[in-house]
Amino acid sequence: MLNSNRGFWKALLFSIITLGFYNWYLIYAFARETNVACFRDGKNTTGLLLFIIFSIITFGIYGIVWHCMWINRCNNYLHANNQPEGLQMSTYLLTVLLLGPLTLGIMSLVVYCKELYLQNAVNRIYNAGIAC
pLDDT tens for 43-81 read: 999 999 999 999 999 999 999 999 999 999 999 999 999
pLDDT value, residue 79: 95
Q: What are phi and psi of 34, to 5 degrees?
A: -65, -40
**pLDDT above 60 (res 128):** yes
The CA distance from 25 to 32, in Å, is 11
The CA distance from 90 to 53, in Å, is 25
Q: What is the 3-state secondary structure (H, E, C) of 54-84?
A: HHHHCCCHHHHHHHHHHHHHHHHHHHHCCCC
Amino acid identity, residue 16?
Answer: I
pLDDT value, residue 132: 40
Strand ranges, E, within the chain = none
pTM for this one?
Answer: 0.92
Domain boundaries, the chain: 8-131
Amino acid identity, residue 15?
Answer: S
If you average pLDDT over residues 113-122, what whole number do you get?
96
Contact 51, 66 (CB under 8 A): yes
**pLDDT above 60 (res 131):** no
84-95: pLDDT as tens digits:
999 999 999 999
